[in-house]
């Protein structure tokens, strides 16, 4: 699946819920399915700066595709990073770099986050794209 296809799937899933309480619960459930980061990567080097909660992300590349694992000490934040990883993991670095993130607005996530969590969301996206940029330069 392309990033856009995965993002559209996420939009469709969130549109099934009538209110944000249900959507938050769904995000929490998604967080429980997150491919967890190996404990050795739960270090300051892997923490996303700018997040209110602790969020650790690790990336590696196999067959020219970037694969992400993550964890967080907060259930909502864990759900947010799970959504982002679902959209971007297993994709080519260049596709991650070029990908739009307007699906976040389409599911209404940003408007339902506190300002500090919204800043954290932006930091998470930025970090995932930075990993992709690093791996893209290795491919050249």
Closest CA to 103 of 2, 32, 34: 2
Tell me how far CA of residue 29 lies from CA of 62, 79, 118, in angstroms. 27, 7, 20
CA-based diameter of the chain, in Å? Answer: 46
Is residue 84 within a helix (H) or strand (E), and if so which, with residue range?
helix 75-88
Q: Which of 6, 51, 66, 99 is catalytic?
A: 51
| Cα(139)–Cα(16) distance, integer angstroms | 40
Give catalytic status of residue 51 as yes or no: yes
Angle between helices 75-88 and 3-15 (to 10 degrees): 140
Closest CA to 72 of 112, 102, 31: 31
Active-site amino acid positions: 51
């Amino acid at each position: 699946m392309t990033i856009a296809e995965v993002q559209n799937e996420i939009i469709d899933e969130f549109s099934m819920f009538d209110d944000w309480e249900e959507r938050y619960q769904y995000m929490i459930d998604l967080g429980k399915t997150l491919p967890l980061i190996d404990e050795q990567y739960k270090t300051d080097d892997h923490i996303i700066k700018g997040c209110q909660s602790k969020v650790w992300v690790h990336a590696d590349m196999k067959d020219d595709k970037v694969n992400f694992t993550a964890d967080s000490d907060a259930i909502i934040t864990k759900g947010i990073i799970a959504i982002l990883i679902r959209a971007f993991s297993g994709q080519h670095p260049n596709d991650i770099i070029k990908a739009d993130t307007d699906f976040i607005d389409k599911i209404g996530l940003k408007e339902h986050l506190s300002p500090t969590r919204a800043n954290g969301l932006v930091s998470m996206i930025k970090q995932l794209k930075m990993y992709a940029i690093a791996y893209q330069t290795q491919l050249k």
